[in-house]
Amino acid sequence: MRVITFSLRVFLFAGVIGIFVLLPVNCSGDQLHDIDFADLSNNSLDVFIISNLSSGSKRLWAHFSAVYLVTAFVCYLLYYEYKCITGKRIDFFHSTKPQPHQFTILVRSIPVSAGSSVSESVERFFMEYHPSTYLSHMVVHRSSKLQSLIKDAKKLYKRITHLQSEPNQPQYRHVGFFRHRVDLVDHYGKKLEDIEENMRLERSEVSLATQEVRAAFVSFKSRYGAAVAFHMKQSINPTEWVTELAPEPNDVYWPFFSSSFMRRWLSKIVVIVACILLTILFLIPVLVVQGLTNLNQLEIWFPFLKSILTITFVSQVITGYLPSLILQLFLKIVPPIMEFLSSIQGYICHSDIEKSACNKVLWFTIWNIFFATVFSGSVLYQVSIFLDPKHIPAKLASAVPAQASFFIAYVVTSGWTSTSSELFRIIPLIWSLIQKPFSCCSDEEFEVPSIPYHRDIPRILFFGLLGITYFFLAPLILPFLLVYLCLAYIIYRNQFLNVYAPKYETAGKFWPIVHNSMIFSLVLMQAIAIGLFTLKKLPLASTLIFPLPVLTLLFNEYCRKRFLPNFIAYPAEVLIKRDREDRNDPKMAEFYDNLVAAYQDPALLPIQFSANSDSLNSPLISAAQVRH
């Protein structure tokens, strides 16, 4: 919601300048003499964009002033929002009760000497080097097989419950080669007992020292003690005893833990290569879409469609609405893929996975939708564009305005359509209708969804990039963006109040992504302005714009030094103050007792489905045998 309201402020300000100043200036250009006002809808959009102004026109100084005004206004808002969210983050920390993740760090790449376990190595190390603050630890175990068994057991339990609660459901089925008639409840019940027995065996095996991963959650008696252990290198070898802040217990992503520094490093390389390949493959639908925007190219590809393409309505749909719709459909598969790639990078919490996926989706969208569309549609696949940095601003200035009509259509098809469909949640609705005939779950087991940040935040930020880039080139895009943002504000506010429920709390950690994206948008807009004023033979304006990207990057560096450290970790001043307040809290003793087991793998907790629970709760081997 802060991203939406921030964007609304930016484009309300830019909209006043763009619609009431720049748009009339653009329309007063030389091309107006060739425009038929009686048939304005069938004329080129060039009449509304900056290309309509002749080279050397004094009216271009209005655009020069607009670039400076909007840059200053956006930077002011970015500073205000960063400062405000940083303050709210600190206030949130002071107002919440003591949380396990405030006292805990995750330690990876734990060296283990011969004859000792990971647990013993952790306890020995922290008792020696952090004796006054160390409280307890919880070693991570390899539990992927056990998690799979628990998942199967839950499915069978739901089936049995569904059969028992629905008397109209068929209670018998013929199974096997000889088609024996069996009672489904008994049949599933025996299967469930077998799985529970396997769970008991697997749980006992996972508890052994041989199944320990070289990673552990280490808890401390104070927040400051945990912060000291996190910030300081624990070993002479920096690849051992690697520390990071622990997430909330319900935010931990248990299925994957990189057991070594090398494995984590290699997984990042694999993900980078996969992202590059996906980006290259995605250029195929982008090129197809660009072919659709060019009727001449389309007639060459499909000569048998020439007679159909001459129909005005068909040509308008194909060149206007269809390209954006095809891109939108292809983009639907990108967020799940990026989330999967982020999950194998070694992140140990859902929030970090979503943050990483959010960055990947954002830059993927900017590259494949903005740059690939701009250059493939206007410069005909010139690979040498980025090999000659001196001419990039000029090439951007000639290519970007030519795609104004495409991106206006993209805002309508992708922005308006996706935001409106969010209200009805059409895709989850269709998926639930498909699943319902095969589902054994009752309505009481419905899980409240959480918003996929990695899908929605990049979309809003990409529209922000389009708005900032095109506000002085084609101001006509601004009303469409404002309609999108107003729809987004109303619909997402309703979704947050009545539909979505948060699964974790990061206290504003996504905001640096927003800030960096807006800074990139400003610098891109300024680079286009430099190239544009050069092409329009206004060298003084081009020269005076040069300091603007430098000042913007300096402003970004200041914000990075001033605010970003508070988003990485809380300062000692805040931590020590809270620790002193907790000394007089009588509930802290109970909190420390619960902290010991706060980060236990849920798969290792006893779970009972069948009536025969005695054997499930009794371990196969004693705790003493586990240690030895």
Query: DSSP per residue over 449-481, as a string?
Result: P---HHHHHHHHHHHHHHHHHHTTT-TTHHHHH
Query: DSSP per residue over 431-449, as a string?
Result: HHHHHGGG----GGGPPPP
- pLDDT tens by residue, 137-179: 888 877 767 777 777 777 777 766 766 666 655 555 555 554 5
- Distances, alpha carbon 45 to alpha carbons 23, 179, 416, 473, in Å: 12, 71, 21, 12
Three-state SS at 345: coil
Three-state SS at 180: strand
Angle among Cα 108, 243, 563 to the nearest 5 degrees reads: 145
d(CA 224, CA 155): 44
- Are β-strands 134-141 and 212-220 bridged in parallel, bridged antiparallel, or unpaired? antiparallel
Q: Is 8 exposed, middle or buried (0-12, 13-18, 19+ CB in 10 A)?
A: middle
d(CA 248, CA 349): 8
Q: Which of 306, 230, 268 is nearest to 572 (CA)?
A: 230
Of the CA atoms within 13 Å of residue 494, those in its CB half-sphere come to: 11
Query: DSSP per residue over 283-310, as a string?
Result: HHHHHHHHHHH-HHHHHHH-GGGHHHHT
Query: DSSP per residue over 388-399, as a string?
Result: -GGGHHHHHHHH
DSSP state of 413: I
d(CA 522, CA 168): 63
Question: Cβ(228)–Cβ(245) under 8 Å?
Answer: no
Any idea which residue has 């060149």 for tokens? Answer: 319
Beta pairing partners, 218: 105, 137
- Distances, alpha carbon 148 to alpha carbons 141, 151, 198, 203, 205, in Å: 14, 5, 11, 12, 15
User: Which residues make Cβ contacts (< 8 Å) with residue 422, sequence separation at least 6?
Assistant: 491, 492, 495
Q: Which helix (H) or strand (E) holds 172?
A: strand 172-175
Residues in the chain with pLDDT values less than 70: 29-47, 144, 159-160, 162-188, 202-211, 256-261, 287-325, 376-391, 435-446, 603, 605-628
CB atoms under 10 Å from CB of 125, counted, come to 19
Q: Left if phi > 0, otherwise alpha if psi is -120 to 50, otherwise beta: which for 366?
A: alpha
Any idea which residue has 């983009």 for tokens? Answer: 331
Question: Cβ(78)–Cβ(91) under 8 Å?
Answer: no
User: Which residues make Cβ contacts (< 8 Å) with residue 122, sequence separation at least 6?
Assistant: 107, 110, 137, 139, 216, 218
- Distances, alpha carbon 620 to alpha carbons 119, 199, 202, 511, 624, in Å: 21, 11, 10, 49, 12
Question: What is the chain's mean pLDDT, rounded?
Answer: 79
- Give the N- to C-terminal CA distance of the chain in Å, as an integer: 54
- pLDDT tens by residue, 174-223: 555 545 566 666 666 777 777 777 777 766 666 665 567 888 899 999 99
Any idea which residue has 């081009």 for tokens? Answer: 542
> What is the radius of gyration, based on Cα positions, of the chain?
30
**pLDDT score for 317:** 58
Beta pairing partners, 217: 106, 138
Q: Which of 544, 534, 526 is nearest to 71 (CA)?
A: 526
d(CA 27, CA 39): 15
